[in-house]
């Protein structure tokens, strides 16, 4: 089994990589920078900036003919944390966030579609957030919330379009996790999030495609 994880150099991505390495999977991880010391040799590292089309072209060339069984679109940013409505949320943050959290997901799937079609079946897991649910709207974090709502919508539409190709797509909330993004006050540790997500990815199939689930299996409203 070959798993490709974007943004695999830290946080949830790195922990997912550790779990799949422990399972004996071939793990390909993408990064824009340094890699965790414990994963330097266990993971096949590829440089990828999901906001740069040229970076995708290079990745496609490098992985030409490589079968990918599970693609985890994990790379993401939260650039508007703590911003105020009166003076925050600049246009550059909107553009940068959507380039990573939405366009980056689409371009990742589009670029690696030939690799996903090398086998009879494949799965795509989009790391979204409950903050993208339209029923979860307490205000603030406008850019991040909007981008994750778009990511969930994207995953559901990809699920519809890729169903005939034998590729199942789902969107997943990893929980509020103690990472650089989630902060030290978050509810769960990265190990708990990764273990839950693995179980959800294992259950992803044509029958469950189009789902939006929490790491613990809870169905989430769109």
User: Is residue 107 assigned to a domain?
Assistant: yes
User: Is residue 89 assigned to a domain?
Assistant: yes
pLDDT tens-digit readout, 2-55: 999 999 999 999 999 999 999 999 999 999 989 999 999 999 999 999 999 999
- Return the pLDDT at 193: 95
Rounded Cα distance between 108 and 100, Å, is: 10
Quickly state the pLDDT bin for 157 (edges 50, 70, 90): very high
Quickly state the pLDDT bin for 72 (edges 50, 70, 90): very high
CB 132 within 8 A of CB 157: no
More confident call, 186 vs 58 = 58
Rg from Cα positions in the chain: 16
Domain that holds residue 183: 2-214
Q: State mean pLDDT over 164-168.
A: 97
Q: Which residues, at least 6 apart from 65, have a Cβ–Cβ distance to it below 8 Å?
A: 115, 118
Alpha helices, H only, 26-71:
53-62
CB 147 within 8 A of CB 98: yes
User: Is residue 76 assigned to a domain?
Assistant: yes
Residue 205 CB neighbour total at 10 angstroms: 12
Cα dist. 65→54, 68, 69, 112, 116 in Å? 19, 9, 13, 10, 10
Nearest to 197 by CA among 41, 33, 11, 2: 11
CB 116 within 8 A of CB 167: yes
Quickly state the pLDDT bin for 178 (edges 50, 70, 90): confident
- Return the pLDDT at 184: 81
- Return the pLDDT at 136: 85
User: Is residue 25 assigned to a domain?
Assistant: yes
pLDDT tens-digit readout, 195-218: 999 999 999 999 999 999 999 999
Rounded Cα distance between 79 and 143, Å, is: 8
User: Is residue 219 assigned to a domain?
Assistant: no
User: Chain centroid to CA 186: how far?
Assistant: 19
Alpha helices, H only, the chain:
11-22, 53-62, 91-98, 104-116, 142-162, 190-203
Quickly state the pLDDT bin for 185 (edges 50, 70, 90): confident
pLDDT tens-digit readout, 100-116: 999 999 999 999 999 99
Task: Specify the CATH number for the domain of residue 113.
Answer: 3.40.50.720
User: Is residue 221 assigned to a domain?
Assistant: no
Residue 93 CB neighbour total at 10 angstroms: 17
User: Is residue 222 assigned to a domain?
Assistant: no
Q: State mean pLDDT over 122-142.
A: 95
Question: How many structural domains does the chain have?
Answer: 1
User: Is residue 220 assigned to a domain?
Assistant: no
């Amino acid at each position: 089994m070959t798993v490709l994880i974007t943004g695999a150099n830290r946080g949830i991505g790195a922990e997912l990589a550790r779990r799949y390495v422990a399972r004996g999977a071939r793990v390909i991880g993408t990064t824009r920078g340094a890699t965790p010391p414990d994963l330097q040799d266990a993971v096949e590292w590829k440089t990828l900036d999901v906001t740069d089309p040229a970076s995708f072209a290079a990745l496609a060339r490098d992985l030409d003919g490589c079968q990918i069984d599970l693609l985890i679109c994990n790379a993401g940013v939260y650039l508007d944390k703590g911003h105020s409505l009166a003076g925050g949320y600049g246009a550059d943050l909107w553009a940068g966030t959507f380039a990573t959290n939405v366009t980056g997901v689409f371009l990742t799937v589009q670029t690696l579609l030939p690799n996903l079609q090398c086998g009879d079946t494949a799965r795509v897991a989009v790391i979204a957030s409950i903050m993208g649910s339209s029923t979860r709207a307490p205000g603030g974090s406008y850019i991040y919330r909007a981008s994750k709502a778009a990511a969930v919508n994207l995953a559901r539409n990809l699920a519809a379009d890729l169903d005939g190709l034998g590729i199942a797509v789902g969107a997943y909330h990893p929980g509020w996790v103690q990472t650089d993004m989630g902060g030290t006050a978050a509810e769960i540790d990265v190990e708990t999030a990764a273990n839950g997500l693995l179980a959800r990815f294992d259950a992803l199939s044509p029958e469950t495609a189009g789902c939006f689930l929490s790491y613990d299996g809870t169905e989430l409203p769109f």
